Amino acid sequence: GENVEQHPSTLSVQEGDSAVIKCTYSDSASNYFPWYKQELGKRPQLIIDIRSNVGEKKDQRIAVTLNKTAKHFSLHITETQPEDSAVYFCAASKGGNDMRFGAGTRLTVKP
Amino acid sequence: KAGVTQTPRYLIKTRGQQVTLSCSPISGHRSVSWYQQTPGQGLQFLFEYFSETQRNKGNFPGRFSGRQFSNSRSEMNVSTLELGDSALYLCASSSEGGSTIYFGEGSWLTVV
């Protein structure tokens, strides 16, 4: 089955700096790659997603890139703010809703 | 539009007991999936239901089961509870043909 690896497990940046989180997946049939943000005690919330027919997608300070050949995708957050502090999860699926998630990255943005 | 609703939010059970968790999806969503979240194992896929049929299943023992009703509401059941079943159980729903899933607040289960 699909295996998603996520790095780093923790990331600490200074406010205003950029943060990059990377994921790799194993199943070449996966075609949908969402990113979720989970604040302490809350539900995971979708922040951005990308499909396999697209190489990059941006939404304000957040961008995701996908390299299908290498089977990896990355989340980029620019101009980080303290409210970006949370756990971020990447996931991969083959179009159904059986998402396979990475282990998560705890991002801390220091003011 | 109301979001995904899960009940109960918190519960404590004793080893050996069984538990049933309920999930009401977003109106119009016919797919419901369940995930277990623990600090050590992250978010793990349990199963997905679509139109009252289990469509996908993760690598969990048979003690974990689920079902979906004609109104798309879903329940999951865990029998013979073990201490290791203590976790946040998240339900998510999505529309037909869509891949974006939306999570509920989750049910916190503690097994003592």
Q: What is the pLDDT of residues B74-85, one digit of tens each?
A: 999 999 999 999
Q: How far is CA B85 from CA A17, A99, B17, B77, in A?
A: 39, 20, 11, 12
State how far residue B14 is from chain A, nearest Cα, in angstroms.
23
Residues of chain A with pLDDT > 90: what percent? 85
Cα angle, residue A49 at apex, residues A48 and A52 outer, rounded to 5°: 155
Q: What pLDDT sits at residue B83?
A: 97
**Which structure tokens are listed for B67?**
């079902």
Where residue B1 falls among pLDDT bands split at 50, 70, 90?
A: low
Closest to A43 (Cβ–Cβ): which among B31, B56, B106? B106
Which whole number is the average pLDDT over B22-40? 93
Least confident among A17-26, A95-104, B47-56, B64-73 = A95-104
| Cβ within 8 Å of B, A 85-104 | 89, 91, 93, 95-104
Residues of chain B with pLDDT > 70: what percent? 96
B43: β partners: B37
Which whole number is the average pLDDT over A73-94? 96
**Which structure tokens are listed for A33?**
């790659």
Which whole number is the average pLDDT over A35-60? 92
Mean pLDDT of chain A: 94
**Which structure tokens are listed for A109?**
């943005």
Contact B63, B80 (CB under 8 A): yes
Tokens 């600090």 locate to B39
Which whole number is the average pLDDT over A34-51? 94
Instruction: Report d(CA A28, CA B54) in Å as an integer.
Output: 24
Instruction: Report d(CA B14, CA B31) in Å as an integer.
Output: 31
What lies within 8 Å, CB to CB, of A1 at 6+ separation is: A27, A100, B59
- Dihedral over alpha carbons B74, B59, A4, A59 (to 10 degrees): 0
Q: Do A43 and B105 touch (CB under 8 A)?
A: yes
Q: Do B33 and A102 touch (CB under 8 A)?
A: no
What are the helix (H) ranges across B1-95? none
Chain A interface includes B55 (CB < 8 A): yes
Residue A37 or B40, more confident: A37
Q: What pLDDT sits at residue B66?
A: 97
Where residue A65 falls among pLDDT bands split at 50, 70, 90?
A: very high
